[in-house]
Amino acid sequence: MKCIIHRRAQFSASHRYWLPELSEADNQKQFGLCAKAPGHGHNYVLYVSMAGELDAYGMVLNLSDVKHIIKREVTSQLDFAYLNDVWPEFQATLPTTEQIARTIWQRLAPYLPITNIQLFEHPELWADYQGNDMEAYLTISTHFSAAHRLAHPQLSYEENCEIYGKCARPHGHGHNYHLEVTVRGEIDARTGMIADLVQLQSLIDQYVVEPFDHTFLNKDIAYFAEVVPTAENIAVHIRDLLQAPIGKTGAALHKIKLIESPNNSAEVYCGVPETSHTPTTQSQPELATV
């Protein structure tokens, strides 16, 4: 029986976004604060996903062996290092989150049956790489607070209560929504980036966070005047708002995940969803909204 396992590791390292062929002004324009000397640091968290058949001992791989390989090939070399200098790959291509994930895959693939490398630069930014040449995924996590009421406009109060329970009460209720926006694209061979991170964050703020934050969704967002603002419908609307603007950055919107509460979340894709082989820091998606 085939099974996918995940191994977590971590390392602390610094890096700097700086291209010697650009002037100081051009580096600062392109990379912002990340261009400042002598660099800045992160506590990186790494998840290595591996697939295989269960052996007679109930294991895909011996995790002690996996731990040793990850330490030998990756964390012992990167921990407390200046990434720009530690590996030759990072001298040709800047050590962005995407490029680090890709390089870790290349370093581990000869020894482990990897299906995904997931690297967290911090809790609100991470990359996934699945061995597809220069293609990678980058996820930005953010949040907004809003109220909503679950009630279909063509149904009576009693009918809505039967469907939505307490969520149909007239004055609504609120959530601290957590939003994950995943984009995919080709890693630039020189900058190491899928797209301009500052631009992506700005678009998410412009089209979602600022309009949605501290609102009553049913009344303040025109789309939800006739559409019930369930977690699923909110996720679909956010996808539709972001797909075209993000497409202009050179990346493509891949997935929207909206976490309504620790118990309820929904995710929608731009296209056919892929089978996930990656661990998640939040609860698995559920379509219930109660």
- At 13 the pLDDT is 98
The CATH number for 173's domain is 3.30.479.10
Known catalytic residues are: 167, 214, 260
Q: Give, to the nearest 10 degrees, the angle between helix 197-204 and helix 231-247.
A: 140
Mean pLDDT of the chain: 93
- At 271 the pLDDT is 73
Q: Is the pLDDT of residue 168 over 60?
A: yes
Render pLDDT for 130-167 as a digit per residue (tens, 0 to 9): 999 999 999 999 999 999 999 999 999 999 999 999 99
- From the list 198, 155, 217, 156, the residue with the least C-alpha distance to 34 is 198
- At 272 the pLDDT is 53
Q: Which domain range does residue 276 map to?
A: 132-290
Q: Is the pLDDT of residue 224 over 70?
A: yes
C-alpha of 220 from chain center? 28
Same domain, 2 and 36: yes
Same domain, 112 and 192: no
Same domain, 124 and 10: yes
Same domain, 98 and 4: yes
Contacts of residue 231, defined as CB under 8 A and 6 or more positions apart, other chains included, come to 258, 260, 264, 265, 266, 287, 289
Contacts of residue 24, defined as CB under 8 A and 6 or more positions apart, other chains included, come to none
Q: Is the pLDDT of residue 285 over 90?
A: no
Render pLDDT for 172-219 as a digit per residue (tens, 0 to 9): 999 999 999 999 999 999 999 999 999 999 999 999 999 999 999 999
Contacts of residue 42, defined as CB under 8 A and 6 or more positions apart, other chains included, come to 12, 13, 14, 15, 121, 122
Q: Is the pLDDT of residue 283 over 50?
A: no
Q: Is the pLDDT of residue 275 over 90?
A: no
Same domain, 5 and 114: yes
Region 226-244 average pLDDT? 97
Render pLDDT for 95-105 as a digit per residue (tens, 0 to 9): 999 999 999 99
Q: Is the pLDDT of residue 242 over 70?
A: yes
Same domain, 42 and 108: yes
Same domain, 122 and 140: no
Same domain, 12 and 45: yes
- At 269 the pLDDT is 97
- At 290 the pLDDT is 31
- From the list 213, 235, 231, the residue with the least C-alpha distance to 290 is 231
**Portion of the chain with pLDDT greater than 90, in percent:** 92
- At 107 the pLDDT is 98
Same domain, 146 and 226: yes
Specify whether the backbone of 23 is left (phi greater than 0), alpha (psi in -120 to 50) or beta.
Answer: beta
Same domain, 63 and 149: no
Same domain, 113 and 188: no
Render pLDDT for 60-99 as a digit per residue (tens, 0 to 9): 999 999 999 999 999 999 999 999 999 999 999 999 999 9
Structure tokens at 237: 């609307």
- At 287 the pLDDT is 35
Region 252-263 average pLDDT? 97
CB atoms within 10 A of CB 147: 17
Q: Of 130, 162, 194, which closes a domain? A: 130
Region 106-111 average pLDDT? 98
Q: Of 130, 152, 180, which closes a domain? A: 130
pLDDT band at 1, cuts 50/70/90?
confident
Same domain, 140 and 277: yes
- Rounded-to-integer distance, Cα 128 and Cα 123, Å: 14
- At 277 the pLDDT is 44
Q: Of 99, 114, 130, which closes a domain? A: 130
Number of structural domains the chain divides into: 2
The C-alpha angle 104, 277, 13, rounded to 5 degrees, equals 30
